[in-house]
């Protein structure tokens, strides 16, 4: 039995992960962490402090925002516990804290835990290798009105894949356009964020060439798509060696780890 401490348990993703875990026979949420005002009256061991509920042999799963991710990384490194981290919008120092923890424990990090998004990334790389380099790339993402970070972590991950394929840096990204900005260049990638309603997650990569366009799109219709991926990541990381792991490792199974 894989025993999980769930950080951010009262949030939308936390509740979806708890539901997904409850449907399994080998993953059990045994401790939940969230801020006091969000703690429900029932359900397992609840606390506002991860360090107070962790025990040897646990896996920590966090979807608690940048501060929660950094705190979880520190606790996991100190207690020798594997970590699944799904928070987005982390600043550079937050990502550095996760990398530092990975030197001591297994850290599974993803901006999106959907198998479909992992497949979209593979398809994007293959497509960019096939089309001419002068084709334009635009990324459009849609999320619910309550999402705090913009653009989404998934959009930035897709952008990083495109930048790597074109040999460009993050300074090539264009986050929206306004005013007289001049003609589009071959060395920019547009990233556009839409917020409204209850969109769970919708990502489109548009590639435009002379006289033709190609669109790659993934639509998440329910958070269960991410929750089941997070539960699978908990299974994977429970027996994984220290280091930084991701969705491609999960899909590939045992073998060399991504950097």
In a domain? residue 258: no
| 154 in Cβ contact with 203 (< 8 Å) | yes
Question: Percentage of the chain with pLDDT > 90?
Answer: 79
pLDDT of residue 249: 87
| 166 in Cβ contact with 128 (< 8 Å) | yes
130 and 95 in one domain?
Answer: no
227 and 215 in one domain?
Answer: no
Q: How far apart are CA 152 and CA 201, in angstroms?
A: 9
| Intra-chain end-to-end CA distance of the chain, in Å | 29
Q: How far apart are CA 124 and CA 49, in angstroms?
A: 40
Distances (CA, A) of 86 to 13, 50, 234: 9, 16, 11
Q: Can you state the angle between helices 65-79 and 92-102, rounded to 10 degrees?
A: 20
Residue from 79, 143, 228, 245 carrying the catalytic annotation: 143
Question: pLDDT category, 147, cuts 50, 70, 90?
Answer: very high
Give which of 92, 78, 85, 91 is closest to 111, Cα–Cα.
85
In a domain? residue 33: yes
In a domain? residue 50: yes
Instruction: Assign residue 15 the CATH number of its domain.
Output: 3.40.50.720
pLDDT of residue 259: 30
pLDDT tens, residue by residue, 209-237: 999 999 999 999 988 889 999 999 999 99
Q: How far apart are CA 97 and CA 83, in angstroms?
A: 12
Tell me 204's DSSP state. Answer: E
Question: Strand, coil or helix: what is 50?
Answer: helix
In a domain? residue 208: yes
Number of structural domains in the chain: 2
pLDDT of 150 higher than 90? yes
Give which of 217, 222, 205, 204 is closest to 144, Cα–Cα.
222
Residue from 147, 192, 203, 245 carrying the catalytic annotation: 147
Arithmetic mean of pLDDT over the chain: 91
In a domain? residue 202: yes
91 and 11 in one domain?
Answer: yes
Question: Strand, coil or helix: what is 255?
Answer: coil
39 and 105 in one domain?
Answer: yes
Question: pLDDT category, 41, cuts 50, 70, 90?
Answer: very low
| 61 in Cβ contact with 7 (< 8 Å) | yes
Examine the residue annotation and report whether 148 is marked as an active-site residue of this protein. Answer: no
pLDDT of 244 higher than 80? yes
80 and 22 in one domain?
Answer: yes
Determine the structural domain holding residue 231 and report its residue range: 2-109+223-252
194 and 179 in one domain?
Answer: yes
pLDDT tens, residue by residue, 9-38: 988 899 999 999 999 999 999 999 987 655
Q: How far apart are CA 115 and CA 86, in angstroms?
A: 14
124 and 86 in one domain?
Answer: no
Examine the residue annotation and report whether 143 is marked as an active-site residue of this protein. Answer: yes
229 and 216 in one domain?
Answer: no
13 and 88 in one domain?
Answer: yes
In a domain? residue 257: no
Q: Across-strand partners of 204?
A: 140, 217
Average pLDDT of span 170-180 = 94
Q: Can you state the angle between helices 224-238 and 12-22, rounded to 10 degrees?
A: 70
pLDDT of residue 39: 54
pTM of the predicted protein model: 0.76
Instruction: Assign residue 208 the CATH number of its domain.
Output: 3.30.360.10
Beta strands of the chain (E only): which ranges? 2-7, 27-33, 45-47, 59-62, 83-85, 106-109, 136-143, 173-175, 189-195, 201-209, 212-220, 243-245
In a domain? residue 200: yes
Question: Percentage of the chain with pLDDT > 70?
Answer: 94
| 57 in Cβ contact with 28 (< 8 Å) | no
105 and 231 in one domain?
Answer: yes
pLDDT of residue 133: 94
34 and 162 in one domain?
Answer: no
231 and 142 in one domain?
Answer: no
pLDDT tens, residue by residue, 77-115: 999 999 999 998 889 999 999 999 999 999 999 988 988
């Amino acid at each position: 039995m894989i025993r999980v401490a769930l950080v951010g348990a009262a949030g939308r993703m936390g509740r979806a992960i708890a539901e997904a875990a409850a449907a399994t026979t080998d993953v059990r949420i045994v401790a939940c962490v969230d801020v006091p005002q969000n703690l429900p009256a029932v359900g397992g061991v609840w606390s506002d402090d991860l360090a107070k509920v962790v025990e040897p042999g646990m896996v920590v799963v966090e979807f608690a925002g940048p501060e929660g991710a950094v705190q979880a990384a520190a606790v996991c490194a100190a207690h020798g516990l594997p970590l699944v981290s799904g928070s987005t919008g982390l600043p550079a120092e937050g990502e550095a804290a996760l990398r530092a923890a990975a030197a001591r424990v297994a850290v599974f990090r993803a901006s999106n835990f959907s198998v479909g998004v992992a497949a979209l990334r593979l398809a994007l790389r293959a497509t960019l290798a096939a089309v001419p380099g002068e084709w334009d790339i635009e990324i459009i993402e849609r999320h619910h009105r309550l999402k705090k970070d913009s653009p989404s972590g998934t959009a930035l991950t897709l952008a990083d894949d495109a930048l790597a394929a074109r040999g460009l840096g993050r300074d090539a990204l264009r986050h929206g356009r306004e005013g007289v900005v001049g003609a589009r260049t071959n060395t920019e990638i547009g990233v556009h964020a839409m917020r409204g309603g209850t969109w769970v997650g919708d990502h489109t990569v548009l590639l435009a060439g002379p006289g033709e366009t190609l669109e790659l799109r993934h639509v998440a219709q329910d958070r269960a798509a991410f929750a089941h991926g997070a539960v699978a990541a908990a299974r994977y990381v429970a027996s994984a060696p220290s280091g930084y792991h991701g969705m491609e490792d999960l899909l590939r199974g045992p073998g060399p780890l991504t950097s």
